[in-house]
Structure 1
Amino acid sequence: MAEPPYLRIAAEIRGRIADGRLRPGDRVPSTRQIARDQGVALATAAKVLTLLRQEGLVHARPRVGTVVAAPATAAPGATGTPGATGTPGATGTPGAAGTPAAPVDAPTPAGEMSRERVVRAAIELADAEGLDALSMRGVAARLGVATMTIYRHVAGKDELVLLMADTAFGELGYPGEPPAGWRARVERGARTLWAVHRRHPWLAQLNSLFRPLPLPNLLIHGEQLLAAFEELGFDETTRMDLQVVIYSHVQGLAAHLEREVLAEAATGLSEEQWMETQEPALGSIAASGRYPAFARLLAGFADDGYDLDLDRLFELGLRTLLDGLAGSAREVRG
């Protein structure tokens, strides 16, 4: 009997780990890459990574993908079961209290399944490989169960994505009394939203301003902002507009986190490697003389380059928005 494709592909990756071609922390091929390069279905590719996770050889790293585990956490045998210190799920999605979620990579008997476990596994899959890689079959493969088992807990992918989003938005709350002053409250709300999107970049792909999702845990963040804007005496339309502006600032930056994961998976190039391929074209544009401000900017970065730091940009944008809002508030109050 021919060896199943997923076992053959897993053996190839296992061999690359064993001989050092893939070292701890290195990214292994994503499900999308495996499917494309090996000519197999995404579900088969998902089974490859699930098997390697069960062996403790790899684990998911949010916003990076699936990477080789450190030797101390890898199981010694190809068919071994991960121990307490080597369980890939230890890097899983934190719960509401900020503690690591229970492992979800090990095969689970159908009788022990729950909607919560399905949702958590789906979140981990989307964190590691992007929302485009999410499928019911992929989640089932990650949990080591038949696809129909998943349908006993969620009606389909659309429902699953909504459950994932509501769970993710609910991970970070607002304990204790709110800080004094509208600005401190807006800053807390915006930074919490940013932290949630940092954990789960795929969230930025979901919520359209024209078709907002009716998610209770998303509204928790909106409530923080709206209550702060009430303090300023703005009317209903202005309060809604300001909430949209703050959320759009978070969402707009966070969208690039997911796009970079997908771009690296598609091209095989890191951000730095891709920029190196663009340097001749950028240099030619700067040398044309048509864009003097751009040329001066590039010249200023000649020695140290430019570090695209989204956290810095988030804080810059938030500060700029709130400085402008403070001026508007003074005008309203006369």
Structure 2
Amino acid sequence: MTRPASSPNKRSAPRGSGPADVSHDDVVRVALELAAANGLDALSIRGVASTLGISPMSIYRFVASKDELLDAMVLKVLDRMEIPYIAATDWRERIVKTMLAWRDLIEDQPGVVQILINRRMPAGSPGLGRLAEQVLAALEHGGITGTAAARAFWHIFSFTFGHIIFERARSQIDDQHQADARDDMHQTARDHGFAHVAELATQLTQIDARGRLDDALRVLLVGLTHPAEQ
């Protein structure tokens, strides 16, 4: 079970194990820095300890396992979530602006994106709570409450996270790669008789055609308020 976010932070380095000023926050901060610099696969307890100048066994006074360290990394990033000032009065626009802020927060820590792809969302995050509270309050203004609101929140959350994953792998695509992708898609479609794909191969491989997250969220929110029309 995931420990509450506040519990590990109360731990302090034991005497004789390393620098007296090393804390749980230091361990998590260094882990995030190493994951950002070298990738999550390269992250290890030994590497964190070496960077901090303490023994690997000392790390286990702050986190019980690498799994707990990964959860702590996610919690630390999520707890940075601050709700931006939103002047928009429309409840849909408040949700869009909120989720864009969350997207920006997560994209700033690629290691956390990789963790969340393979692991469940850890419990006990005030940051996630602030996000959910803001979205649920906006949904209530739109007439969506109770179980429907809880379901809508996770639709919005999953949709946003999926968009982050999809766009990360494509953020470095240049014009030549885009042209190659168009030609490959068109040829594959012709070989297999996919007439619609062949006709729209150029549009399907254009980065701009995929749209922005804010536009996609607006489409989703219309669907949430008019489910019978979908």
Aligning the two structures, in what range does the TM-score lie when normalised by the shorter sequence? 0.7 to 0.9
Pick one of 254, 275, 282 that aligns with 2:185.
282
**Greater radius of gyration (CA):** 1
Counterpart of 1:36 in structure 2 is: none
TM-score by length of 1: 0.52
Amino acid corresponding to residue 190 of structure 2 in structure 1: A
Equivalence for 1:37: none
More helix by share: 2
Over 3 Å counting, the alpha-carbon distance change for 1:250 and 1:271 in structure 2 is same
Find the aligned partners of 2:87 and 2:73 in 1 and give their Cα distance.
27
Residue number in structure 1 paired with 2:159: 249
For residues 173 and 25 of structure 2, the distance between their equivalents in structure 1, rounded to whole angstroms, comes to: 35
Gaps of 5+ in 2: 1-17
Of the candidates 235, 248, 259, which is equivalent to residue 145 of structure 2? 235
Residue from 188, 210, 213 that aligns with 1:314: 213
Alignment partner of 2:198 out of 269, 289, 295: 295
Q: Which has the higher contact order (CA 8 A, sep 6+)?
A: 2
**Aligned position for 1:4:** none
- What's the Cα RMSD here? 3.6
**Taking structure 1 as reference, are residues 178 and 165 closer, same or farther at Cα in structure 2, changes over 3 Å only?**
farther
Counterparts of residues 114-193 of structure 1 (less than 5 Å): 114-174=23-83, 179-193=88-102
Q: How far is the alpha carbon of 1:182 from its aligned partner?
A: 1.5
Given that 1:225 and 1:243 are in contact with CA atoms closer than 8 Å, whether structure 2 keeps it comes out as: yes
**What letter corresponds to residue 200 of structure 2 in structure 1?**
L
Aligned pairs (5 A) from 1:87-102: none
Structure 1 residue matching 2:212: 3-state secondary structure: helix
Query: If the length of structure 2 is used for normalisation, what is the TM-score?
Result: 0.72
Paired with 1:300 and 1:240, the residues of 2 have a C-alpha distance of 35
Deviations 1:214-233 (A, max 9, x none): 12221211111111112223
Q: After superposition, what is the alpha-carbon deviation per residue over 1:38-85, rounded to whole angstroms, capped at 9, x for unaligned?
A: xxxxxxxxxxxxxxxxxxxxxxxxxxxxxxxxxxxxxxxxxxxxxxxx
Shift of 1:125: 2.0
What residue ranges of structure 1 are gaps of 5+ in the alignment?
Answer: 1-108, 262-269
- Separation in structure 2 between the aligned mates of residue 274 and residue 141 of structure 1, nearest angstrom: 40
Q: What are the within-5 Å matches in structure 2 for residues 259-270 of structure 1?
A: 260=169
1 CA distance for matches of 2:135 and 2:158? 13
Q: CA deviation at 1:248?
A: 0.5
Deviation at 1:320, TM superposition (A): 0.8
Q: Report the Cα distance in structure 2 between the residues aligned to 1:243 and 1:162, rounded to whole angstroms.
A: 22
Contact 1:204 1:255 in 2 (8 A): yes
User: 1:295–1:189: structure 2 CA closer, same or farther, 3 Å change rule?
Assistant: same
Change (3 A) 1:183 1:279: closer
- Answering whether residue 223 of structure 2 is matched by residue 324 of structure 1, we say yes
Sequence identity percentage: 30
3-state DSSP of counterpart to 1:225 = helix
User: How many angstroms apart in 2 are the aligned matches of 1:198 and 1:309?
Assistant: 21
Equivalent residue, structure 1, for 2:126: 216
Deviation per CA, 1:131-180: give whole Å up to 9, x if none: 33322112223334332232232222122122211111122302557753
* Matches of 1:175 and 1:193, distance apart in 2: 10
Query: How far apart, in 2, do the equivalents of 1:202 and 1:257 lie?
Result: 15
CA distance in 2, matches of 1:190, 1:162: 21
